[in-house]
Structure 1
Amino acid sequence: MVDAPELPPPDWFATDRPIVSRSVPDLLAAAAATHGGRPALMTADGVAYRHDELAAASATTAGFLRSVGVGPGTAVGLLCDHHPEAVRSVIGVLRAGGVYVPVDGRWPAERIAAALHQMNCRSLLADRSTARAAYELLDRVPSLTSIVCVDGGSDAFDDPDRLTMTVGLWNAIAADPDEYRGAGFNLRPKSATFTEAEILAYRDHVVALVAAAGDGCRVLEIGCGNGLIGKALMAAGFDYVGVDPSSVAVAGLTAWAAEHDVKATIRTGYAHELGPDDEPFDVVLVASAAQFFPGPRYLATVVGECRRVLRDTGRLVIADVIDPISGDNPDLFRIPVRAWESLAGDGFAGAEILRRSGDRLPDLLQRRYDVVLAAGGSDRAADRPVLAGRPQIEASTPWSGPGPAPADAAYCIFTSGSTGQPKGVLVTHHAVANLIDWVNREFGVDVGDRLLFVTSFAFDLSIYDMFGVLSGGGSIHLLPDAVLAEPERVYDVLMSEGITFWDSAPAALSVVLTATRGRAPGGRPALRRVFLSGDWVPVSMPAEIRDRFGAATTVVALGGATEATVWSNAFVVGELDPSWPSIPYGRPMQNARYHVLDERWDPCPVGAPGDLYIGGECLASAYAGDPALTAAKFIPDPSPDRAGQRLYRTGDRARWLADGNLEFLGRLDDQVKIRGYRIELGEVQAALVRQPGVLDAAVVTAVIGGDRALCAFYVGGADPVDEARLRSRLAETLPSYMMPARLTALPALPVTANGKVDRAALAGLAARPPAIAPGTPRQDRPVPVEGDPDEVELTVRDAWVEVLGPGAGAGGDFFLAGGDSLTAARFVALVNEDAGTALKVRDVFDLLTLDALITRARAGEAALR
């Protein structure tokens, strides 16, 4: 007689505990009341905010946000670097009753805008490093009414050094004897971009904008340069005055006017220094100059100055404005169309936006637009987005009104979507409070803890990183993003700044460990708790963590989903079973239930694989704006004793182990995790097939250089697809972590017998051959350009091949060859270990090419002697 399969016993589901039904601001207020004088937010400079100071400051932020229209349920975007004002701002949003929507500055503008637009965000919180990018989103996110620089004034949207840099630039350009190069065209002699006919077509286009005001009118041109346009206006009989900050350009145009016996006034000056004029102008022209302005505040100043010198019937013509949506010239000042309504509000009747048509202008100039502001009053209600800064925040009355209810939404995190569109997961204060209560109670988080904040605000691990440790009375140590990108410096902070708590995806810690392997400790680490989640935890990692930071360090592997509020299960890693293929998934946390069900929604026996579902208080409330997806993924709990409750269909496969732990077996669908980021392969595929020349595409994962990576295959049309251009276009849509490490063209995608894409066959194509080991004959390494290689060069070339694979050429870019931050760290560790050099991960980002890295490695070797 065969024993019936054993079902999981009821006590495996007995996770119910008293529910902590409080809002996040309530938890933080309680911590401030108890631990007010203790540090809350720390930086390299010391304590930025104590708990009581953070409570007061976030109330002031909340008061400001209420004044600009943020209230219960209002979505507020967050586009910030890691610094104290960003954390203060998030808490302020929650205190005001809003829902914060974190986006990542490393995402393409299109993806950032899609998230903010989907949530109908009214305000966007930025900082000095992201203020300009935030301003450029105005056209993409029509709901925005305010953009706030939380760590600077409204002048932080401007680059104060641009004016002085522009003078030197245009003095050098105007000195060129070639008329067109002297006007700023074709500055690279070997790559002429514009033909003479195209340049003259541009000139005539701008002259026509001026001529629309009538023959012989009085014209002031700001940024006249060497006179490409001014000469044509003078020749046409206009009463011409030119102003330019370049003394070289002014001298040249003055000499030309004298030589041609043309009456004109040319003077040196900035756009904001127009000075008094005896007679007002009919037209003020700013052509191809606004893109060199410092920013929106300076532009507003110039527009005001132009109105001052215009007749009441005059026109301000701003020609050749760069549209941020075009993606062109990201280093220049790009002006959203919506900005002009605000600029035209005082003294002008409105803004006329002129889009360019026809085929006379080259593509780059065709994508730009022109603006005409007619002097006069306006009775229209202008759409005027507010640009504000920290002074406006600090001048606000602190909010002391009611805060959010536990059932209200606290945040919306966007994850990859299988349809090609990201999906926003709405999570309540109640679910966050349940998570914090569990972690802090279960793992003893208290006032003695200091967490190093390393995750993106747009990654859901950041939820606990901010609110969890602060609720326990502990502190958060913040490093700027630029420092977080240097694993050597992160390691130094871990070893010397009293950090007790690390929380990240395994890959993020692996970068730090790999880049510093063999390095002397340099301090006494205080680390006692390491949380790893978001991806498979390598079986070897816990031992290395304890070896680096001390045998008493607790390593915890956690799992869950964004839809289940960060984590909903945990496994404290003790002795490892050598037979384990991976660290077990663990047991469910308080008020969370895990179910492994078959296709009939019946429980699977212990050891039998099934579909994984999560239930309980940890569940998110919905997908933002998508009731159909919400209904499909959050289903009614089939258990008779759980009537009215929900289960989240994770899309994962799992099984119960005999000891009550879960083992994760992979995905049901095409959703994968790469370096802790959840990625829908369908979203990457959708981005590929939208590209010109790509007829079909499929995306799989494969192991490259020892790490899991995305590999994309595509079918092109009759004309070959340029891979560099394809990558560039993909980067406009996909964040860096979703960029395929490999792009491979195929005549057709392989299919299975039932007509579906044969992903197993593609995975086989994607798999790299074994890495070349040191000592392999030189003909199998990337070939040096000249000379016999020394030992340092051989070591660097071997490491290049080992982490990137034999197909990586010697002359290419490390990251275009499939590298990423993790492989960069591994590359540096291999070189330093084998060659005794002092190469750094930052060197890989800065130098990129193999030859440059060989040179740097040699210099590092010499410095160590």
Structure 2
Amino acid sequence: MTGPDRLLPPPQWFATGRPFPDTATVPDLLRAAARAHPDRPALVASDGTALTHGELDAWTDRLARLLAERGIGRGSYVALYADRTPSAAASLVAVLKAGAAYVPIDPAWPRARALELLTDLGVSCVVAGRARLKAVQELRWDAPSVREVICPEITAKDTWAEVLDREMVEEFFDFLSGEPDPLEAAGFNLRRSERPYRPGDVTGYRDHVGRLGREAAGEGARILEVGCGSGLITEALAPTAARYVAVDPSSVAVDRNLAAAAAGGYAAEGAVCYAHEVPQAVSGTFDLAIMASTVQFLPDLDYFLETLRGLLPMLRPGGTLLLADLIDPGLEAHAGLRIPPALLERLPQLLPPVAGVEVRRRRAEDFAGELSHRYDAFITVGEGTAPAVRPGRVWTGADIEARPAGALPPGTVTADDLGYAVFTSGSTGKPKGVMVQHRPVVNLIDWLNRTWAVGPGDRILAVASFCFDLSVYDLFGVLAAGGSVHLATQPEIAEPEVLIDLLEAEPITLWDSAPAALAMLTPFLDGRPADGLPAEARGSLRLVLLSGDWVPLTLPDEIRTAFPRAEVVALGGATECTVWSNAFPVGEVDPAWPSIPYGRPMANARYHVLDAALRPLPVGEPGDLYIAGACVAAGYAGRAALTAASFRPEPGSPEPGGRMYRTGDRARWLADGNLEFLGRLDEQVKVRGHRIELGEVQHALHQCPGVRAALVTTVDQPGGRDLVAFYVPAADGPAPEEARAHLLARLPAHLVPARVLAVDAFPVRDTGKVDRAALLRLL
């Protein structure tokens, strides 16, 4: 029963509604900024070069047009597989302009996880960074839904044009073919391996390929060998061939093959050219074309497909292209070109001359070293002709520049369309793709930019991964204000002093990260002069946004000491509620606080603290936290049951069909209308029969003088589960035994961690959150 001491939150705490442009899309906001500030910098690279708002608008229109031409639009997912570059960031804008939704993939993820994401979402296009193109070219063939790949950072029409250095290639193969050691001349023992190849291994390989060639074409065949190298395969097949043509980019290799043929008394012809030039250099029709160990030396998969497109018409109907010694990316890490078997299996759909493909695995015991993992393939030619359009090609920056500037037709994208899907870490199970529409992103941008007066003079130092939803505001929010985004590279992020240099020397006004990412920087500020310097001498930083984890009580004052102009704001919410949905401007920190208050809901967001029966709880009483309003995401991609369980009807919603999201957090209302975060439900753990709130122990450790940051977790031991605590001490901070004594004096014995460890800094994941697994490895 509710009494005078158990008052329910008053209605005004839920009256957060205010008008915002609810029919606008993110591209609408960015286009308006480009019209208002066309010459101001928008995206700033690590070398200081900048793309202006006007240039960004025009370039993204062109890429959006290319996407639309390729059938990418409403209902499509486009994956981003790239490093932190202006081109990658701009590509996300273009995806939104095309009406599609983007899905970021971290290049550091295991191949299997990236492939699972592409497959589960039915991703139809991947935008790749130049440094990541090779990996994407491999992945695309194992993900049947992927139809298109775009690499904007390559300016040439062909992906391989910029890396095919003819002089270097010819010098290398001339040198290799002239080696007196027959194994090295044949390409063996060039890399360090567990066991060097021996002459018998090479002979076995030669005989194996020779058997495959005779199986495919028999004796008296007309044979074309592309990449003849030292002559191993010529020696095996040419003596019984009706015609044998040996091709290689190395004139030394070709001459060596012809000399060996003359010495052996059999006929052979030669041509010096690259694989893609064979149709122009060699005439006639062949029964068998063979590439033995040649494919791994090709520049990339686009070049490989272009080579096949040229070679297949040179074979008679029923002829065979034999690819020997192929590297499977699923089995072997290798610097050479790897061929996904799925690519070969799809060749009949890509190249009409292909009538069939047989992928043949090897018996590992028949081969030595890496050769045991390789596979061979027979491609049989039918009556068709090679397509005029290059199959499966990667679109490049040249293709983007060839498109006209100008927006796609009105209605291409609406506020109800999906803008992105960001995947959770998967720490509690299979990763979940959170689908977010344009409308809640626009509400977030409108609220934050208006509340903290973000404008064209602002620049953010963007350190959040594209896979972390903080990047949504970093990119679109700041650009929508006419400001600029300085994209910190991964090497810069790994060097705290480099980031500090940027904060002090560049016109950086905004910082946005998880607390641990910023806490890593503050120790490096201690030795830098600050006393007596004007505020502007400590950089332009004016607004620091912290979210995603507990904010240590000492951190706000450390920030303001280092950057006197900085206002610190603690933000909260959930990925499922569009980055943030509440805020607490951190003024004077009360040392007695258990934590930095969670704050109040943002505009058009409503918070509910409910009991297990979804009834509102009185002020001060802990309960389960739910978020409702315009910030709520559409749900989980492909997970209807999970969406229904997590996104529920909001009791008494002021909006028809209003929904609320169950955060999994514990919280309570404070008397002043702020919320206090009490930890996650999954942070309520059972240790040796006791139910424990990790947040309670963590708060007690934070209260120990000289402790700058603290984290408490559990570890499973042979005798059962124990608590373990980690903390970052100040210069005169406590030793671990002193910190544990502090806890013993304040907590019941069952709440005191069995081990307390001091660390120089908390390791962080690419999200900026503390890497708990890395901490546990310190035990």
**TM-score of Structure 1 vs Structure 2, range by shorter chain:** 0.7 to 0.9
Partner residue, 2:611: 598
The separation in 1 between residues aligned to 2:247 and 2:267, in whole angstroms, is 15
Partner residue, 1:243: 247
Partner residue, 1:509: 518
Q: Which moved more, 1:644-653 or 1:341-350?
A: 341-350
* Letter aligned with residue 598 of structure 2: Y
The separation in 2 between residues aligned to 1:384 and 1:710, in whole angstroms, is 52
* Letter aligned with residue 540 of structure 1: T
The alpha-carbon deviation at position 572 of structure 1 amounts to: 0.8
The separation in 1 between residues aligned to 2:168 and 2:325, in whole angstroms, is 21
The separation in 2 between residues aligned to 1:527 and 1:586, in whole angstroms, is 23
The separation in 2 between residues aligned to 1:486 and 1:350, in whole angstroms, is 54
Contact preservation (8 Å) 2:360, 2:375: yes
* Letter aligned with residue 222 of structure 1: V
| Per-residue Cα deviation, 1:794-853 (whole angstroms, up to 9, x for no partner) | xxxxxxx97599xxxxxxxxxxxx97789x9x9xxxxxxxxxxxxxxxxxxxxxxxxxxx
2:401 to 378, 394, 401: 394
The alpha-carbon deviation at position 32 of structure 1 amounts to: 2.9
Q: Which moved more, 1:353-362 or 1:429-438?
A: 353-362
2:326 to 301, 321, 331: 321
Partner residue, 1:734: none
Contact preservation (8 Å) 2:122, 2:145: yes
Partner residue, 1:66: 68
Specify the SS of the correspondent of 2:521.
helix
Contact preservation (8 Å) 1:103, 1:458: yes
- Residues 767 and 451 (structure 1 numbering): CA distance in 2 closer, same or farther, change over 3 Å? closer
2:217 to 202, 213, 218: 213
| Per-residue Cα deviation, 1:282-305 (whole angstroms, up to 9, x for no partner) | 322111111111113432443345
Contact preservation (8 Å) 1:293, 1:333: yes
Partner residue, 1:291: 296
The alpha-carbon deviation at position 393 of structure 1 amounts to: 1.8
The separation in 2 between residues aligned to 1:309 and 1:89, in whole angstroms, is 40
The alpha-carbon deviation at position 120 of structure 1 amounts to: 1.4
The alpha-carbon deviation at position 421 of structure 1 amounts to: 2.2
The alpha-carbon deviation at position 28 of structure 1 amounts to: 2.0
Contact preservation (8 Å) 2:627, 2:661: yes
The separation in 1 between residues aligned to 2:457 and 2:342, in whole angstroms, is 49
Contact preservation (8 Å) 2:352, 2:386: no
* Letter aligned with residue 16 of structure 2: T
Contact preservation (8 Å) 2:150, 2:395: yes
For structure 2, the 5+ residue unaligned runs are 531-535, 686-700, 736-756, 771-779
Partner residue, 1:637: 650
* Letter aligned with residue 552 of structure 1: R
The question of 1:547 aligning with 2:556 is answered: no
The separation in 1 between residues aligned to 2:296 and 2:161, in whole angstroms, is 12
- Residues 158 and 369 (structure 1 numbering): CA distance in 2 closer, same or farther, change over 3 Å? farther
Q: Which moved more, 1:651-660 or 1:609-618?
A: 651-660
Partner residue, 1:14: 15
The alpha-carbon deviation at position 224 of structure 1 amounts to: 2.7
**How does 1:300-315 map onto structure 2 within 5 Å?**
300-307=305-312, 310-311=315-316, 314-315=319-320
1:133 to 132, 135, 138: 135
Contact preservation (8 Å) 2:271, 2:281: no
**How does 1:177-576 map onto structure 2 within 5 Å?**
179-187=182-190, 191-192=194-195, 200-211=203-214, 212-234=216-238, 239-245=243-249, 257=261, 260-265=264-269, 269-274=273-278, 276-277=281-282, 280-307=285-312, 310-311=315-316, 314-326=319-331, 328-337=332-341, 339-340=343-344, 341=346, 348-356=353-361, 358-362=363-367, 364-365=370-371, 367-378=373-384, 384-397=391-404, 398=406, 399-417=408-426, 420-515=429-524, 517-519=526-528, 525-549=539-563, 551-576=564-589
The alpha-carbon deviation at position 69 of structure 1 amounts to: 0.2
- Residues 626 and 30 (structure 1 numbering): CA distance in 2 closer, same or farther, change over 3 Å? same
The alpha-carbon deviation at position 459 of structure 1 amounts to: 0.9
Specify the SS of the correspondent of 2:275.
coil
State the TM-score, normalizing by the size of structure 1: 0.73
Contact preservation (8 Å) 1:345, 1:378: no
The separation in 2 between residues aligned to 1:656 and 1:103, in whole angstroms, is 37
The alpha-carbon deviation at position 354 of structure 1 amounts to: 1.2
Contact preservation (8 Å) 2:348, 2:354: no
- Residues 460 and 123 (structure 1 numbering): CA distance in 2 closer, same or farther, change over 3 Å? same
| Per-residue Cα deviation, 1:661-697 (whole angstroms, up to 9, x for no partner) | 222222212799xxxxxxxxxxxxxxxxxxxxxxxxx
The separation in 1 between residues aligned to 2:247 and 2:494, in whole angstroms, is 44
Specify the SS of the correspondent of 2:116.
helix
Identity %: 44
The separation in 1 between residues aligned to 2:681 and 2:429, in whole angstroms, is 18
- Residues 767 and 48 (structure 1 numbering): CA distance in 2 closer, same or farther, change over 3 Å? closer
Specify the SS of the correspondent of 1:136.
helix
The alpha-carbon deviation at position 656 of structure 1 amounts to: 2.4
1:27 to 22, 26, 29: 29
| Per-residue Cα deviation, 1:495-525 (whole angstroms, up to 9, x for no partner) | 2221111111122223333455524689651
Partner residue, 1:626: 639
Contact preservation (8 Å) 1:162, 1:292: no
Partner residue, 1:856: none
Q: CA RMSD in A?
A: 4.1
The alpha-carbon deviation at position 263 of structure 1 amounts to: 4.2
The separation in 2 between residues aligned to 1:39 and 1:97, in whole angstroms, is 25
Specify the SS of the correspondent of 1:400.
coil
The separation in 2 between residues aligned to 1:709 and 1:553, in whole angstroms, is 29
- Residues 770 and 41 (structure 1 numbering): CA distance in 2 closer, same or farther, change over 3 Å? closer
**How does 1:460-859 map onto structure 2 within 5 Å?**
460-515=469-524, 517-519=526-528, 525-549=539-563, 551-639=564-652, 644-669=657-682, 760-761=721-722, 763=723, 803=759
The number of residue pairs the alignment matches comes to: 712
- Residues 223 and 467 (structure 1 numbering): CA distance in 2 closer, same or farther, change over 3 Å? same
Contact preservation (8 Å) 2:584, 2:598: yes
For structure 1, the 5+ residue unaligned runs are 673-701, 714-745, 751-757, 777-800, 806-817, 827-865
Specify the SS of the correspondent of 2:159.
helix
The separation in 1 between residues aligned to 2:443 and 2:568, in whole angstroms, is 22
Partner residue, 1:690: none
Specify the SS of the correspondent of 1:669.
helix
| Per-residue Cα deviation, 1:672-723 (whole angstroms, up to 9, x for no partner) | 9xxxxxxxxxxxxxxxxxxxxxxxxxxxxx999977599987xxxxxxxxxx
- Residues 142 and 383 (structure 1 numbering): CA distance in 2 closer, same or farther, change over 3 Å? farther
| Per-residue Cα deviation, 1:627-659 (whole angstroms, up to 9, x for no partner) | 100010011223476773222111111222333
Partner residue, 1:122: 124
The separation in 2 between residues aligned to 1:361 and 1:419, in whole angstroms, is 44
| Per-residue Cα deviation, 1:399-419 (whole angstroms, up to 9, x for no partner) | 233232222211111113366
**How does 1:145-164 map onto structure 2 within 5 Å?**
145-152=147-154, 153-156=156-159, 160=163
Contact preservation (8 Å) 1:355, 1:368: no
The alpha-carbon deviation at position 391 of structure 1 amounts to: 2.0
The separation in 2 between residues aligned to 1:707 and 1:273, in whole angstroms, is 63
1:96 to 95, 98, 113: 98
The alpha-carbon deviation at position 360 of structure 1 amounts to: 4.2
The alpha-carbon deviation at position 66 of structure 1 amounts to: 1.0
| Per-residue Cα deviation, 1:28-76 (whole angstroms, up to 9, x for no partner) | 2332333334332333565633333333332222222111002222221
Q: Which moved more, 1:623-632 or 1:190-199?
A: 190-199
The separation in 1 between residues aligned to 2:514 and 2:94, in whole angstroms, is 27
The separation in 1 between residues aligned to 2:148 and 2:730, in whole angstroms, is 52
The alpha-carbon deviation at position 146 of structure 1 amounts to: 1.0
The alpha-carbon deviation at position 221 of structure 1 amounts to: 2.2
Contact preservation (8 Å) 1:534, 1:559: yes
| Per-residue Cα deviation, 1:439-483 (whole angstroms, up to 9, x for no partner) | 011111112211222211111011111211122222222344444
The separation in 2 between residues aligned to 1:607 and 1:378, in whole angstroms, is 76
| Per-residue Cα deviation, 1:228-281 (whole angstroms, up to 9, x for no partner) | 333322466675443344566566656655554454456665434546446543
- Residues 308 and 603 (structure 1 numbering): CA distance in 2 closer, same or farther, change over 3 Å? closer
Contact preservation (8 Å) 2:540, 2:565: no
